Amino acid sequence: MNIAIISPGPFSVPPVNGSSVEHDIDEVTKMIDPEHQVTIYTRKCATYPKSSIEDNREFIRYPYNGPTPYLQRIIKHIRKRQPDVILVENRPIYVLALKRHFPKIPVFVNMHSHVYGSQAIISKEKMKKVVRLASGFFTNSEFLRQHFMKTSRIPAHKIHAVHLGVDVSPYQVAKLNYTIKKLRKQIGLKSEDRVLFYAGRLIRAKGVHVLLKAFQQVSEQDPLARLVIVGGTGYGSNRQNPYVRELRKLAKPLGDKVKFVNFVPSAQMPLYYQIGDVVATPSVWKEAFCRVNLEAMASGKPVISTPRGGIKEVVTHLGSGFLISPKEWKKELPVVWDLLWNQPHIRTEMGKQALMRARQFSWYATAQGYLNVFESVVAKRDQGKQSLRKIG
């Protein structure tokens, strides 16, 4: 089967400073069985050549100066290839143009969050048309699947929840890296410090302000507690916007107990997770999946998160971590922190369970989830063609 995958465009695949979407495309396509040919259309950048081939993956890169010219170039190339299926990543609006040019090729949409299916991005009428024209949809959680079934009226048989994966190996190998002590020292941590770790964008939806307010209570009861915040305002961006200034203001009374670290490329994150003893993801919005939790668990770290969106499909409460409502963090985080340090066997056991849980999410399983749907739709199409021939 020949599969064409269209990345959104603003970032490159594999990611340099890209978002999680580009990371997911790269990881899942590595796991697609070699009998399938995969063509990935993505943004041209200085890091990579215009086109390249890695095993059964071919990367075709075009300049991105807006979605329309980007997609036009891709359509021109697809016309030469005539793939068996097209997968559009996180841009349902692309389906309308693709189906005008390729009415007989099944087109699927992989929705990574609710954002690009919302009326703020695509009108209700256009989304309705996308739902009719697309052969199917993927989501990274059952929560997001239910969301689109309700808001976009996507029929249940046409939308499939396929969890994302994680490669545990680099996170486990990072534990043995001799530079961990050096990295901790660079950040300003001492060997006896107990570190609560946050990784992600510094945006209000991620609840970093909730974390800082709750950590103020933790620091009062534990003089060894430290909070390390890794991330920027966007992917590769460390600009100081009003929200970041608000976070800095909240952290100021805590002095050196809070350490801000700028954006770190995803390739370096397995090492950075080793800095933390416990990982916090205080999301206040309905996260579709929250990949940080899976990465933390792959590092064998207990996770303290919220039961928002698809998070509870990944983190098991009182198993691989704790799920606390954002409103309860200020009261509950000090209690949980005290439990984890006064009864260290609980922290150790949770770390083990977190790693076991992470191993249940593989990129191979994600790839197989996509391929099963593709093959089913292509088989039905081929059967239909054969039936028409017999009639003819």
pLDDT in tens, the chain (392 residues): 999 999 999 999 999 876 789 999 999 999 999 999 999 999 999 999 999 999 999 999 999 999 999 999 999 999 999 999 999 999 999 999 999 999 999 999 999 999 999 999 999 999 999 999 999 999 999 999 999 999 999 999 999 999 999 999 999 999 998 899 999 999 999 999 999 999 999 999 999 999 999 999 999 999 999 999 999 887 767 788 999 999 999 999 999 999 999 999 888 999 999 999 999 999 999 999 999 999 999 999 999 999 999 999 999 999 999 999 999 999 999 999 999 999 999 999 999 999 999 999 999 999 999 999 999 999 887 776 665 555 55
φ, ψ for residue 279, nearest 5 deg: -110, 135
CA 254, 256, 260, 264 torsion-angle sign? negative
Confidence (pLDDT) at 31 = 97
Pick from 27, 61, 36, 93: nearest CA to 374:
36
pTM of the model: 0.92
Confidence (pLDDT) at 389 = 56
Please tell me the CATH code under which domain 2-165+362-391 is placed: 3.40.50.2000
The rounded distance, in Å, linking the Cα atoms of 28 and 139 is: 14
Domain boundaries, the chain: 2-165+362-391, 168-358
Non-local CB neighbours of 321 within 8 Å, separated by 6+ positions: 293, 297, 302, 303, 304, 305, 315, 350, 354
In this chain, the answer to whether the domains covering 2-165+362-391 and 168-358 adopt an identical fold is yes
Confidence (pLDDT) at 18 = 64
Confidence (pLDDT) at 196 = 98
Confidence (pLDDT) at 70 = 98
Counting Cβ atoms within 10 Å, is residue 256 exposed (0-12), middle (13-18) or buried (19+)? Answer: exposed
Two tokens, residue 224: 């060894």
Confidence (pLDDT) at 387 = 56
Q: Are strands 2-6 and 321-323 parallel, antiparallel or unpaired?
A: unpaired
Confidence (pLDDT) at 265 = 86
Confidence (pLDDT) at 346 = 97
Confidence (pLDDT) at 239 = 81
Confidence (pLDDT) at 74 = 98
Confidence (pLDDT) at 266 = 86
Confidence (pLDDT) at 363 = 97
The rounded distance, in Å, linking the Cα atoms of 313 and 170 is: 23
Q: Considering only the top CATH level, what class is 168-358?
A: alpha beta
Confidence (pLDDT) at 237 = 72
**End-to-end CA gap in the chain:** 27
Confidence (pLDDT) at 386 = 61
